[in-house]
Amino acid sequence: MTDLHLWLIPLVPLAGFLVNGLLGRKFQKRVVTTVALVASLIPLLQVAVIVTKFGSLALPHIENLGPWIQAGSFHADFSFQLDQLTLVMLSVVTGVGFLIHIYSVGYMGEEDGYWRFFAYMNLFLFFMLTLVLAENFLLMFVGWEGVGLASYLLIGFWYTRDAAANAGKKAFIVNRIGDFGVLLAMFLLIEHFGSVSFTEVFSAIAAHPAWQGGFLTAIALFIVLGATGKSAQIPLYVWLPDAMEGPTPVSALIHAATMVTAGVYIVARTHVIFDRSPYALAIVAIIGVATAFFAATIGLVQTDIKRVLAYATISQLGYMFLGCGVAAYSAGIFHLVTHAFFKALLFLAAGSVIHALSGEQDMRAMGGLRQKIPITFWTMTAAVLAISGFPPLAGFVSKDEILYQTFIAPNGGKLLWAIGLLTAGLTSFYMFRLWYLTFFGESRTQTAAIEEEAAPVHARSDTKLVLEAEPQAHPVHESPWIMLGPLVILAILSVIGGWMGWPEGLGGSNWFSRFLEPAVGVLPAPSSPESHLTELILALVSTFVAASGWLAAHIMYYARPELPARLTAQFPARYALLKNKYWVDEIYAAIVVAPVLFIARWVLAVLIDRGLIDGGSLTAGYSAQGLGALVARIQSGNIRSYAGWLAFFAAALLAASYFGWTTHFFLQ
């Protein structure tokens, strides 16, 4: 059996984290950069080596490093697993991760906490790679918690800003709710299987065809709870838009390409459980499609460029859930991969725009950037076309796969498909809205005004707008090549990345699904010559929908830019509803946060902590003190009083023994 040293893949970034995290403060910037890039490059190279050897491996390839926890018959090992699904995730995480590390060198170059940033990024890679490589639920949970930690640290990277610190806390706490679900799922697994190993659990399920629903549904639903937290699905999606307070490369790596897809990964990984529970699958599908639609509608009216992308991410994650929910796991994973390409690209390009505008994130203050930052423009165009679903770009292929699988799924598949299709139209609309607002029309930037006046450059005083990359306003400028390089590579991937799963209905072979079949099962609706026509028609329909989304955006934000304001005025209530994100944050604040805070403040803090715990310990302390004070009076310092006590008690003992009250008497 070949030894691939899988443990090295996560451990190298961990070493990078330790070196930079412990010593980085004293290093020169060059050294920090080198350490971080090498620590993220080595796993990528190792994955590349694994890819070359992959054909000759016996799958799933498991490497057990030794026991971790042993309690009676239960054991959890440090063991790593490599199969097709892991390989796909590894490629995405290391590949996109390395590109974003390179980009960050340029983007974060001026930041004070440069070493801290790269230490956290490497830490994230360590946990994410542990998550995807783990062979048992417990080790996976280490990664699962760890990426949440890294996410918290990076969202709150600018911890001096209240908004960033709060966003970090929110992300962490909301994720904890989901993690609770994963924990409960693990407890159920231990109770029913006595094991948390993927191999053992899945083979136990495979050995009992009679097990349907029941406790498997319970486990699946708890896993779904965890997945909704990590993957920002209804009802736990609220943290992701706020997470945009972090630096843009973080948004690209963690909150678009990798960490948020962990929920999709866990569902695909445990598909054996979900396959036995149609009920849980239906819930996944409904959550997915509802989130996709809901987030897309909010995305329509957001003005912060990163928030639009955040809602787009939530929406696209919804598609992945929809794919998993109709048991087309490979379609979900396929969308995960292509989404990692184009959404990382969108964020990085948005970061490049923000960089060009010296920290401006509000799309209302952009516009007309097409000629000024051409490379960013063209790469962003590729990403926008990809996410909107124009053939033959990556997003079209994977989204269509999901929609097609949904369409032919039994039990309300048509309805889910219709909502998914509508969402695709909305997606196309808001992505082109972003595109037009950013790159076309009149320049609305403040720096443009500065340039025209040829006045000295001043820092903007507008405190509402967040200064991100640089504290000073410069003329609009294209980013350096260290940032553009990753953009170009990701743009190429966004264009061609989908071709590895080109559907059979359109003359392809759907190699990607075939490849994943051993790990996540066959597609529920394998392609047949009869279904090719359906596939083709659906592809045409969704292309048409994407095109109409583009057309609507073209009219509203390019041809007749006065139209959006008129629409807003015409439907104020609906606009307010979307603008305020359905008041979900406010509702949560009222029905969840407020009671929790109330309990914390009055029941826990006042009653339990100050009343019971403080009260109890104070009482004990004071009573001991009082007793001591009482007894201390015996020590008067007067020798004759000591002698008196001594004589008195000696006489008393004498008398007692004389009357027979000896120890012997007491012992009876």
Residues 85-144 contacting other proteins, CB under 8 A: none
Task: Please check whether residue 386 is in contact with residue 395, taking contact to mean a CB–CB distance below 8 angstroms.
Answer: yes
Residues 228-267 contacting other proteins, CB under 8 A: none
Q: Give yes or no for residue 630 binding other proteins (CB under 8 A).
A: no
Task: Tokens 């006595």: give the residue.
Answer: 194
- List, in order, residues 6 or more apart from 614 with CB less than 8 Å away: none
Torsion of CA 413, 419, 424, 429, to 10 degrees: 170
Six-digit token pair at 613? 């715990």
Six-digit token pair at 208? 């009992």
DSSP 363: G
Stretch of 10-18, 136-144, 643-651, 659-667 lying at the interface with other proteins (CB under 8 A): 643-651
Six-digit token pair at 664? 């012997």
- Specify the residue, 26 or 633, whose C-beta has the smaller distance to other proteins: 633
Residues 150, 153: Cα–Cα separation, whole Å: 5
Q: Give yes or no for residue 625 binding other proteins (CB under 8 A).
A: no
- Specify the residue, 567 or 627, whose C-beta has the smaller distance to other proteins: 627
Q: Give yes or no for residue 635 binding other proteins (CB under 8 A).
A: yes
Q: Give yes or no for residue 209 binding other proteins (CB under 8 A).
A: no
- Specify the residue, 160 or 635, whose C-beta has the smaller distance to other proteins: 635
Q: Give yes or no for residue 639 binding other proteins (CB under 8 A).
A: yes
Stretch of 176-184, 298-306, 397-405, 637-645 lying at the interface with other proteins (CB under 8 A): 637-645
Instruction: State how far the alpha carbon of 504 is from the alpha carbons of 277, 397, 424, 501, 536, in Å.
Output: 29, 11, 22, 9, 9
Q: Which of 56, 371, 463, 638 binds other proteins (CB under 8 A)?
A: 638
Instruction: State how far the alpha carbon of 21 is from the alpha carbons of 32, 50, 480, in Å.
Output: 10, 29, 27
Q: Which of 163, 589, 627, 643 binds other proteins (CB under 8 A)?
A: 643
Q: Which of 45, 533, 559, 647 binds other proteins (CB under 8 A)?
A: 647
Task: Please check whether residue 465 is in contact with residue 362, taking contact to mean a CB–CB distance below 8 angstroms.
Answer: yes
- Residue 457: CA count within 13 A, CB half-sphere: 11
Residue 656 beta carbon to other proteins: minimum distance, rounded to whole angstroms? 18
Query: What is the size of the binding site for other proteins (CB under 8 A)?
Result: 10
Stretch of 412-420, 493-501, 612-620, 642-650 lying at the interface with other proteins (CB under 8 A): 642-650
Q: Give yes or no for residue 640 binding other proteins (CB under 8 A).
A: yes
Q: Which of 364, 644, 653, 655 binds other proteins (CB under 8 A)?
A: 644
Instruction: State how far the alpha carbon of 477 is from the alpha carbons of 50, 224, 443, 448, 450, in Å.
Output: 41, 45, 14, 11, 14
Alpha-carbon torsion (477, 483, 485, 491), positive or negative: negative
Q: Give yes or no for residue 533 binding other proteins (CB under 8 A).
A: no
φ and ψ of 408, to 5 deg: -90, 0
Q: Which of 28, 411, 636, 657 binds other proteins (CB under 8 A)?
A: 636
Alpha-carbon torsion (406, 409, 410, 414), positive or negative: positive
3-state secondary structure of 76: strand
Residue 663 beta carbon to other proteins: minimum distance, rounded to whole angstroms? 23
Residue 163 beta carbon to other proteins: minimum distance, rounded to whole angstroms? 58
Q: Which of 66, 507, 529, 637 binds other proteins (CB under 8 A)?
A: 637
- Specify the residue, 2 or 636, whose C-beta has the smaller distance to other proteins: 636
Q: Give yes or no for residue 48 binding other proteins (CB under 8 A).
A: no
- Specify the residue, 30 or 633, whose C-beta has the smaller distance to other proteins: 633
Which bin fits 528, alpha (ψ -120 to 50), beta or left (φ > 0)?
A: beta
Largest CA distance in the chain: 118
Helices (H), 442-480: 446-453
Q: Give yes or no for residue 555 binding other proteins (CB under 8 A).
A: no
- Specify the residue, 459 or 654, whose C-beta has the smaller distance to other proteins: 654
Residue 626 beta carbon to other proteins: minimum distance, rounded to whole angstroms? 15
Binding mask 577-616 for other proteins (x = CB under 8 A): ----------------------------------------
Question: In the complex, which residues of this chain contact other proteins (CB under 8 A)?
Answer: 632, 635-640, 643-644, 647
